[in-house]
Structure 1
Amino acid sequence: MSALAIEIELSGFAQVEQFFARLNPFESETLLEAMARLIRESTRERIIAGGPAPDGSAWKPNRVGRTPILHLSGALARSIDYVVAGTRAVIGSGLVYARIHQEGGVIVPKSASALVFSAGNRLFRVKKVTMPARPYVGLSGEDRAELVQTAVEYLRRLFK
């Protein structure tokens, strides 16, 4: 995934792993898998619902006024996935337009004199398009609490 991603990395657990190895094996990939799945689903839900951003702010509406704004075709929500390897999880989208929706920016034609596109049954021909940031990848306060709860529950199971 190169277009847009959020990463989680577990560190400082060497002593914890050694301690738990005597009880039940501590498997960081199992914990990361559960955490990454939570973030993926939260991100997908945010896109489908039309926001808000992880920090709670509302997304700027588009000119057509369609909501949810980032879920017109559903491709962005479906593209959110994760990869877990060792002590690291990467959650994001590989779609080429994922980053511009997250961060905003200006789109200009590469080899033509204008951009041509349709929106709301109208055809537009413009020199550039300014996309506002509509952050969808990130951790809300609720996401953070769920991640902590997931880690606590996993550690509790090691003692059973």
Structure 2
Amino acid sequence: MASGKTILKNGGATVLKTLVVFYSYSGITRKLAEDIALLTDGELRELKPQKPYSYSYNTAVKEVRGEIERGYCPPLKEGAEPVGDAELIFIGSPNWLHTFAPPVLSFLRAVNLSGKTVIPFCTHGGGGFGDMPERYRKECKGARLRDGIALKGDYSFEELEAWIRSL
């Protein structure tokens, strides 16, 4: 299943199996997820809805707005498999209308994250996490939720690497 990365804690080494789950519309969040996986030796898992959003950004925003307003969880054709023995799960999304993309909500409601450590990440154009932290707290009951990172698309790898080391 997921691979491990040595993370130093209190002077001792602990190997945590890491999973990096993400939804990306334009590829920006995918790049961030790939960088996190590289830095943590984590396994990548992309969330793919059965019905992709429109290639027209304005049309996609209308589709997403309707889904978010209804609390709709689009069926996933990939990504909703159980997380197995992964202990540390990074979950990423673009900031869409101040929250995570509906495919992330589908994942959160489809898998059991009890006892797991969840670290959110997002890409944004200036809105940071929006209300994602509150939504993660609501949807990840039974999981240990850690502070995440919200980065613009032009983030530096060094900035991300420093954050990963701080964990």
Q: Which TM-score bucket, shorter chain as reference?
A: under 0.3
Q: Higher relative contact order by CA 8 Å / sep ≥ 6: 1 or 2?
A: 1
When Rg is computed on C-alpha atoms for both structures, the one with the higher figure is: 1
